[in-house]
Amino acid sequence: MEANNVKEISIKGYLAEQGIYPIKEYPAYGMYLSPYRNEGHPSFKVNYRKNLWRDFGAGEGGSIIDLVMKMRNCSDIEAIKLLEEKADLPLIVKTAFPSESESVGRMKLIRVEQFLPPHLENYLVRERAIPLEQAKRHLSTVYYSVKERVYYAIGFKNDKAGYELRNSQFKGCFPPKTITTIDRGTPTCNLFEGFMDFLSYLTLYPMKEKDHPTESAVVLNGTGNLEKVIPFLSKHTQVYAYLDNDEAGKEALQKLIQLKLPITDCSKMYVNHKDLNEFLKQMKGQKVTQIIPKSRRMKL
């Protein structure tokens, strides 16, 4: 097989042969636990139509050859040889991620509103434990179209006027994708992997934003943006890192420490949880559980 033909081997079929199946599945794609790093929540997407993968937690992606290189820790030539043995697996034709310009061409921004529809408010409050007071300061509703169909999601703006997009069924971005900085000109900075963690921090410590805005903040919007954040972090004498407790988060932390940045690892605060938002949700859940027994005694 030539390399181009090898790329046509179905990623879904290859993973299934390894005993790896999607946690969530939709007609066009599946969400998996990463097959080459430890994680508790699916952030590994396989696009069935284009036969491409994207690991949002690690900020990586590519063809089936790239995937085998990651899973087997081997070279591209070795990966191709391994895949040549899988000639009986199903084939899929398309094999390239769209470029950023092509993505923007397909995905058109319609408008951005500060008002959040009720079901997006419910998603933030019930599924993410983020109070609306915090959310409305930093989030918008982004309306966009793909192939003339209109969609909308919660949007978190980055430094280049792109948006991280979220709702209960979708995780993506409107490019360009980059970091989000909140520069208050302070010596201290808090570093977050995603904006839900940033909002979780403000929920846990609301006085940090209201009464004592003495800390700057930066959100990576994915560990793939790590290099972009270094100049901003270098301006501070103390950086508190609230990165995920997974392989990608730990690797990002080590890279920053190796650069001699003044990093304090705060992930120990939520050591038994994937990230700060998971920790917040459990905190809120415990509080609700304590209230339930009393409410059962009340009658109207």
Q: What is the DSSP letter of 169?
A: T
Note whether residue 91 is domain-resident: yes
What is the CA angle 140-142-144, rounded to 5? 175
The pLDDT-based confidence of 41 (bands split at 50, 70, 90) is confident
Task: For tokens 């290859």, name the residue.
Answer: 14
pTM above 0.85, yes or no: no
**184 and 283 share a domain?**
yes
What is the distance in angstroms between the CA of the first residue and the CA of the last residue of the chain? 73
Number of domains in the chain: 3
Please give the single-letter amino acid code of residue 149.
R
Same-domain pairing of 81 and 108: no
Rounded to 5 degrees, what angle do the CA atoms 129, 190, 43 make? 55
Note the pLDDT tens digit of each residue in 189-200. Answer: 999 999 999 999
The answer to whether residues 51 and 65 belong to one domain is yes
Domain of residue 277, residue span: 180-287
Sheet holding 263-265, edge to edge: 180-182, 215-219, 188-192, 238-242, 263-265
Whether 252 and 243 have beta carbons less than 8 Å apart is answered as: yes
Instruction: Let me know whether 170 and 184 are in one domain.
Output: no
Q: Of 97, 121, 154, at which residue does a domain stop?
A: 97
Question: Looking at the domain assignment, is residue 46 inside a domain?
Answer: yes
**pLDDT tens-place string over residues 125-174:** 999 999 998 888 899 999 998 877 888 999 999 999 999 999 887 788 88
| pLDDT band, very low/low/confident/very high, at 296 (cuts 50, 70, 90) | very low
73 in the same domain as 107:
no
Same domain, 82 and 106: no
Residue 298 lies in a domain: no
Q: Do 185 and 152 share a domain, yes or no?
A: no
Same domain, 192 and 283: yes
What is the pLDDT of the chain when averaged over all its residues?
Answer: 83
What CATH number does the domain containing 194 carry? 3.40.1360.10
Residue 113 has pLDDT above 80, yes or no: yes
Q: Is 275 helix (H, G, I), strand (E, B) or coil?
A: coil
- Residue 185 pLDDT > 80, yes or no? yes
Judgement on whether residues 165 and 86 belong to the same structural domain of the protein: no
In a domain, 245, yes or no: yes
Examine residue 189 and state whether it is found in any structural domain, yes or no.
yes
The answer to whether residues 73 and 134 belong to one domain is no
Is residue 83 situated within a structural domain? yes
Query: Is 293 inside any structural domain?
Result: no
Which of 97, 128, 161 corresponds to the end of one domain? 97
Q: How confident is the model at residue 212, as a pLDDT?
A: 59
208-247 per-position pLDDT tens digit:
766 556 789 999 998 889 999 999 999 999 999 999 998 8
Of 174, 190, 212, the last residue of a domain is: 174
Contact status, residue 48 vs residue 30, Cβ threshold 8 Å: yes
What sign for the dihedral angle of Cα 120, 121, 125, 130?
positive
185 and 217 both lie in a single domain: yes
Element (H, E) at 110: strand 107-113
Q: What is the pLDDT of residue 293?
A: 30
Q: What is the pLDDT of residues 238-290, one digit of tens each?
A: 999 999 998 889 999 999 999 999 999 999 999 999 999 999 999 887 443 33
Whether residue 242 contacts residue 192, with contact meaning beta carbons closer than 8 Å, is answered with: yes
Residues 152, 229, single domain; the answer is no
For residue 86, the model assigns a pLDDT of 59
d(CA 241, CA 188): 11
- The verdict on residue 295 lying in a domain is no
What CATH number corresponds to the domain at position 22?
3.90.580.10
